[in-house]
């Protein structure tokens, strides 16, 4: 037991030991924070892609290249794993509101079918939820749509939106609620409540659109606002414009998507783009089809299974006489996912340099301890302590520093990461500095996810480095001559 007793004594008696211990602790904490945030970013990115899309996406040739929709749906429905599909159209456009012009994506969807293949129903805000958020963060706004001029605290507002949508007791919107946003009666009600001066100008309100909640919170847009959306004909390239009415809001967690996408009824968008269509051509054209699979049979992360079903779907489409591209959900944003994965690996190795630095401190500390305790080592050896016992004293000392520092570093890193959004909000409230701007990182909150593999890779390096750093002074200490060691000054 003398080895452990002396190791603990040496551990408590040197300031340099404390410095090495603290360096290890903060290095491991930083390593875990970086890994958890990068892992959370990757996890949230995948969740956003999967939630916005579906397991598979079928794309037509050309802007509106999916003509025989019913034939394609009949063929793919014969595949056992396929449980739903939803047609869509996405076109680059700009909207004009007064003197404001902004580039956007005009996304045509069938809200009920879109909810069957994605998380669309979970992202939409109910009218009462949206009104409550706007009342809270737009104090002073009246029923006629006059907005208060006070600046909105966006991080706080987005935090409230996130808390609302992530509530486990909140149910996704039902079919009737989904249809409501494009319903004529709802559009009339929205116009009367928020823009009563426009009721005479629009006895039949324009078609409804759903916008990102950020656009409403920061007053880029307002409920009941009439927008002129301009795009180009896919056939002639001529300018096509149409008026739309803002009737609802959505929050997917992807800031860029929410900020730059207008969701409209797919039939309205299809008819809009078919204005210049040759009368002899088929008007039933779409850009593509989103396809959902039975997750009881195919796991979301099982890429091999997804690829196999993608090949089956491609064969089924070929039987319908169409040449269409089929993508799995990871392939839709493959370059972005790959870039984030490489960035996570690079950041890990950069932060790992800190762990190597702590190893050098342990080496220096133990070397100085061996020199300082040379006389004590000589006494121990002259009393019969074996060389292995002396080695264990310093080896255990180094391991104690690295293992205790690692354990406390993991605890500190976990506590910081688990509360990182609260810490960010506190810094923002005190200094006004936003460290995680949503418009840059495309997410409204800092995502955090603890993967077991990441925790393992945060634990092993400091322990291994501490062990290797301890070996040199630990094996050097018992090789000193006992007599010479006793006479050493």
pLDDT tens sequence across 152-210: 777 788 888 888 988 889 999 999 999 999 999 999 999 999 888 888 888 899 999 99
Query: What is residue 190's predicted lDDT score, i.e. its pLDDT?
Result: 93
Question: What Cα–Cα distance (Å) separates residue 360 from each residue in 29, 171, 473?
Answer: 18, 54, 12
**266-288 pLDDT tens trace:** 999 998 988 766 655 555 688 99
pLDDT in tens, 121-131: 999 999 999 99
User: How many whole angstroms separate alpha carbon 330 and alpha carbon 327?
Assistant: 8
Q: Give pLDDT, residue 114.
A: 94
Shortest CA distance to 24 belongs to which of 472, 474, 466, 473? 466
**How much is the pLDDT for 235?**
81
Q: CA nearest 44: which of 458, 443, 440, 411?
A: 443
CA angle 81, 123, 140 (to 5 degrees): 170
Rounded to 10°, the helix 303-319/69-76 angle is: 130
Q: What is the pLDDT of residue 439?
A: 59
In the structure, what pLDDT confidence band is assigned to residue 106 with cuts at 50, 70 and 90?
very high
Tell me, letter by letter, the H, E, C secondary structure of the chain.
Answer: CHHHHHHHHHHHHCHHHHHHHHHHHHHHHHHHHHHHHHHHHHHHHHHHHHHHCCCEEEECCCCCCECCHHHHHHHHCCCCCEEEEEEEEEEEEEEEECCEEEEEEEEEECHHHHHHHCCHHHHECCHHHHHHHHHHHCCCCCCCCCCCCCCCCHHHHHHHHHHHHCCCCCCCCCHHHHHHCCCHHHHHHHHHHHCHHHCCCCCCCCEEEEEEHHHHHCCCCCCCCEEEEEEECCCCCCEEEEEEEEEEEECCCEHHHHHCEEEEEHHHHHHHHCCCCCCCCCCCCECEEEEEECCCCCCCCCHHHHHHHHHHHHHHHHHCCCCCEEEEHHHHCHHHHHHHHHHHHHHHHHHHHHHHHHHHHHHHHHHHHHHHCHHHHHHHHHCCCCHHHHHHHHHHHHHHHHHHHHHHHHHHHHHHHHCHHHHHHHHHHHHCCCCCCHHHHCECCCCCCCCHHHHHHHHHHHHHHHHHHHHHHHHHHHHCCHHHHHHCC
Q: Distance between CA 123 and CA 214 in Å, rounded?
A: 13
In this prediction, residue 147 has a pLDDT band, given cuts at 50, 70 and 90, of very low
Residues across the chain? 489
- Give the residue extent of every domain in the chain: 2-45+337-487, 89-283
Range ranked top by mean pLDDT from 97-101, 368-372, 440-444: 97-101
Confidence of residue 148 (pLDDT cuts 50, 70, 90): very low
Gap between the Cα atoms of 25 and 407, Å rounded? 8
- The residue to which tokens 């993967």 are assigned: 451
Q: Is the pLDDT of residue 379 over 80?
A: no
């Amino acid at each position: 037991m003398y080895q452990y007793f002396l190791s603990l004594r040496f551990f408590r008696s040197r300031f340099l030991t404390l410095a090495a211990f603290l360096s290890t602790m903060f290095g491991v904490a930083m390593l875990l924070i970086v890994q958890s945030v990068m892992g959370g970013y990757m996890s949230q990115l995948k969740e956003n892609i999967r939630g916005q899309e579906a397991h598979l996406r079928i794309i037509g040739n050309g802007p509106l290249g999916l003509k025989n929709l019913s034939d394609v749906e009949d063929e793919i429905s014969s595949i056992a794993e396929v449980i739903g599909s939803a047609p869509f159209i996405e076109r680059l456009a700009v909207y004009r509101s007064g003197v404001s012009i902004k580039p956007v994506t005009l996304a045509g969807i069938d809200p009920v079918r879109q909810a069957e293949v994605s998380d669309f129903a979970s992202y939409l805000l109910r009218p009462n939820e949206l009104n409550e958020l706007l009342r809270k963060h737009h104090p002073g706004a009246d029923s006629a749509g006059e907005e208060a001029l006070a600046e909105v605290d966006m991080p706080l507002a987005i935090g409230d939106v996130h808390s609302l949508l992530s509530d486990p007791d909140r149910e996704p919107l039902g079919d009737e609620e989904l249809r409501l946003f494009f319903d004529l009666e709802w559009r009339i009600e929205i116009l009367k409540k928020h823009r009563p001066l426009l009721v005479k100008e629009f006895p039949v309100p324009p078609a409804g659109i759903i916008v990102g909640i950020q656009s409403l919170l920061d007053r880029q847009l307002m409920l009941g606002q009439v927008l002129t959306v301009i795009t180009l004909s896919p056939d002639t390239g001529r300018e096509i414009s149409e008026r739309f009415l803002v009737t609802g809001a959505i929050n997917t967690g992807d800031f860029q998507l929410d900020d730059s996408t207008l969701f409209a009824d797919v039939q309205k968008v299809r008819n809009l783009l078919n204005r210049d269509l040759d009368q002899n051509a088929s008007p039933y054209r779409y850009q593509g089809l989103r396809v959902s699979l039975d997750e009881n049979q195919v796991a979301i992360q099982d890429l091999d299974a997804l690829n196999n079903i993608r090949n089956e779907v491609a064969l089924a489409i070929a039987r319908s006489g169409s040449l269409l591209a089929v993508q799995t959900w990871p392939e839709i944003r493959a370059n972005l996912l790959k870039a984030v994965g490489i960035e996570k690996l690079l950041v890990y190795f950069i932060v790992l340099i800190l762990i190597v630095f702590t190893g050098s401190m342990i080496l220096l500390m133990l070397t100085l301890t061996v020199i300082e305790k040379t006389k004590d080592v000589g006494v121990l050896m002259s009393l019969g302590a074996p060389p292995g016992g002396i080695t264990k004293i310093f080896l255990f000392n180094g391991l104690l520093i690295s293992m205790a520092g690692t354990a406390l570093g993991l605890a500190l890193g976990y506590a910081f990461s688990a509360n990182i959004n609260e810490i960010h909000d506190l810094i923002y409230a005190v200094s006004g500095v936003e460290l995680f701007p949503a418009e840059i990182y495309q997410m409204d909150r800092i995502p955090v996810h603890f993967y077991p593999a990441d925790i393992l890779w945060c634990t092993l390096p400091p322990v291994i480095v501490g062990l290797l750093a301890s070996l040199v002074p630990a094996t050097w200490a018992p090789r000193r001559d006992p007599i010479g060691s006793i006479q050493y000054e």
